[in-house]
């Protein structure tokens, strides 16, 4: 039974369909493991025992009657603590929302539950989702799978840790500037950032509503594909027969290669070589307009986040982690005309990027230029925190700014991922490509 905790979500679903795994027994294995785990309270904000068992019992009945709702019916997953859960606290990692209990599920959770996913509980996260590090002295900082004293990446920090430590078959998180992909990369998982607007944000505590997206953190590309389908109540893409033969990959040489440290660089270079050996054509290109996108990004993120959080923040600023307070207050000084002008600039850049990359199947880069930093040093060295936080999210932010689907895959070097940026709305094609890339990198 302990081996169940390390199986992919897809394999668990197949075993449920075959009758060799009972959803009730499976859910009990996860709940028992969570409750006995030394990092339980650093990973899970709340464990939803009663809900999980009720959903597992219903899934078991459907399996016995031949009425399963999909390939993941009965598979237990965790949810980041910004997805509303009816009757269960949803606090977004901040004391500003302590005691907040929604009266209904977020739309994406409703859809996933209807598709048969079992909710194990709510995972810790960076405060209000405004950091790529995963450090949260207000609620909890989950551990990194390779070093419990290092941060796990954020803001979907507990989501990644729940999977990496075998305490969920997958985690559902959000990604505004890299919050699915950074913790996935630092914990050797697969992370999918969806196109903005593809998955509903209704009932999701926002950070930046113009950039927020929902996505899974999981063990395989197949899992990401099936989870995307169940999250939107749709049909999974056909990954069969995918190959890298004839695939054209563009290595982005603007901004993202700068200051990449030794291990992430080695992981990326090794991965590129294996992709090339498997049949992919690799070309290096420069996209100068990316500098302009980065120049307007600060105002857009800050104004959007402060616009939503302002009243809560200014009512009790003393309740916040100072680093997060400073970041969200950056929106105070952004003018309306500057915000509109910034969006006009970014929309133009998105069109130029789509045209210049149209000949490629994906754009690739190191997921993060750095390794997971030490949590204690981040708490005691302000300059170090700021520098590492900006670097952590720099490469992932490209996909959010350009509004394209993106996937990070493990390279085999611990905590080092390779990122594939696809097209706007191009999740199916990107998942097919990454299914082939995953085999080449295994």
Which residues does the annotation mark as catalytic? 80, 155, 179
| Residue 88 structure tokens | 């269960």
Nearest to 156 by CA among 330, 386, 393, 377: 393
DSSP 3-state helix, strand, coil percentages of the chain (rounded to 5)?
50, 15, 40
Q: How many residues does the chain have?
A: 442
Task: Return the SS3 of 300.
Answer: helix
Contact 185, 416 (CB under 8 A): yes
What angle is formed at CA 47 by the lines to CA 44 and CA 51, rounded to 5 degrees? 145
Helix ranges (H only) for 280-381 are 290-315, 322-329, 336-356, 375-380
Contact 79, 44 (CB under 8 A): no
Beta strands in 194-335 (DSSP E): 213-218, 248-252, 281-285
Task: Report the C-alpha gap between 142 and 343 in whole angstroms.
Answer: 35
Q: What is the DSSP string of 73-142?
A: TT-EEEEETTB-BTTB---TT-GGGTT---SS--HHHHHHHHTT-EEEEEE--SGGG--SS---SSS--P
CB atoms within 10 A of CB 50: 10
Contact 124, 78 (CB under 8 A): no
| Residue 324 structure tokens | 């997060």
Q: How far is CA 163 from CA 115, 171, 293, in A?
A: 20, 6, 33
């Amino acid at each position: 039974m302990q081996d169940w905790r390390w199986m992919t979500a897809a394999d668990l679903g197949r075993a449920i369909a075959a009758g060799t795994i009972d959803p009730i027994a499976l859910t009990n294995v996860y709940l028992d493991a969570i409750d006995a785990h030394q990092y339980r309270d650093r990973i899970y904000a709340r464990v939803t025992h009663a809900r999980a068992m009720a959903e597992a019992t219903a899934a078991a009945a459907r399996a016995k009657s031949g009425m399963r709702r999909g390939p993941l019916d009965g598979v237990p997953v965790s949810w980041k603590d910004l997805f509303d859960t009816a009757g269960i606290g949803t606090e977004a990692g901040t004391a500003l929302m302590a005691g907040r209990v929604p009266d209904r599920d977020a739309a994406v959770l409703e859809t996933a539950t209807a598709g048969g996913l079992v909710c194990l509980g709510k995972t810790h996260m960076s405060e209000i989702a405004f950091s790529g590090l995963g450090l949260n002295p207000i609620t909890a900082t989950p551990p990194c799978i390779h070093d419990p004293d290092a941060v796990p990446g954020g803001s979907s920090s507990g989501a990644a840790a729940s999977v990496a430590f075998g305490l969920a078959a997958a985690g559902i998180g959000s990604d505004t500037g890299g919050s699915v992909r950074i913790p996935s990369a630092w914990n050797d998982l697969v992370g999918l950032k969806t196109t903005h607007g593809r998955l509903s944000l209704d009932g999701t505590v926002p950070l930046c509503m113009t950039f927020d997206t929902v996505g899974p953190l999981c063990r395989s590309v197949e899992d990401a594909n099936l989870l995307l389908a169940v999250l939107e109540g749709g049909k999974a893409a056909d990954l069969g027969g995918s190959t890298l033969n004839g695939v054209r990959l563009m290595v982005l040489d603007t901004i993202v290669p700068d200051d990449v440290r030794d291990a992430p660089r080695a992981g990326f270079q090794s991965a590129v070589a294996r992709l090339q050996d498997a049949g992919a054509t690799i070309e290096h290109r420069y996209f100068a307009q990316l500098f302009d996108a980065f120049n307007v990004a600060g105002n857009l993120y800050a104004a959007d986040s402060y616009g939503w959080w302002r009243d809560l923040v200014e009512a009790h600023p003393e309740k916040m982690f100072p680093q997060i307070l400073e970041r969200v207050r950056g929106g105070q000084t952004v003018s309306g005309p500057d915000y509109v002008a910034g969006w006009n600039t970014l929309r133009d850049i998105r069109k130029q990027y789509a045209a210049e990359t149209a000949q490629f199947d994906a754009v690739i880069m190191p997921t993060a230029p750095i390794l997971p930093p030490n949590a204690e040093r981040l708490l005691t060295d302000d300059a170090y925190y700021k520098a590492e936080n900006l670097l952590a999210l720099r490469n992932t932010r490209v996909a959010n700014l350009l509004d394209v689907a993106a996937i990070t895959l493990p390279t085999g070097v611990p905590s080092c991922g390779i990122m594939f940026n696809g097209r706007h709305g191009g999740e199916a094609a990107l998942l097919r490509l990454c299914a082939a890339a995953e085999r080449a990198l295994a």
